[in-house]
């Protein structure tokens, strides 16, 4: 009975650990209504995409959660880093899309 309870507690703790891994938001590269944005809105969207990239990059460091994931459940760490790369790439692609849109409209970012 005690062994079953210990196994259950361990599984529960592992579940909390995995769910706590860093998962930065992956932005959409192209959004509905992008073509209707004015210059100010393009600048705001560009700044937001830069912010998403910075936040994703911060998650890549040796956070307590990432260290614990590496020690106790390394596949979760691999999934976290994969998600981070996806988030960084999407944010960069979004910035590139907005730069092209700004150039087409004669806006400065």
- The full set of domain ranges for the chain reads 2-105
DSSP assignment of the chain equals -HHHHHHHHHHHHHHHHHHTS-------SS-TTGGG--HHHHHHHHHHHHHHHHHHHHHTS--HHHHHHHHH-HHHHHHHHHHHHHHHHHHHHHHHHHHHHHHHHT---
The string of pLDDT tens digits covering residues 46-104 is 999 999 999 888 877 655 555 555 555 556 555 666 788 888 999 999 999 999 999 99
pLDDT of residue 75: 60
Confidence band, pLDDT 50/70/90 cuts, at residue 36: very high
């Amino acid at each position: 009975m005690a062994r079953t309870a210990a196994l259950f507690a361990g599984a529960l703790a592992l579940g909390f650990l995995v769910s706590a891994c860093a998962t930065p938001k992956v932005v959409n590269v192209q959004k509905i209504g992008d073509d209707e944005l004015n210059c100010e809105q393009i600048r705001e969207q560009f700044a937001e995409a830069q912010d998403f990239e910075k936040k994703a990059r911060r998650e890549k460091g040796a956070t307590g959660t990432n260290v614990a994931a590496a020690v106790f459940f390394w596949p979760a760490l691999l999934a976290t880093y994969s998600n981070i790369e996806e988030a960084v790439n999407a944010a960069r692609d979004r910035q590139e899309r907005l730069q092209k849109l700004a150039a087409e409209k004669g806006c400065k970012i």
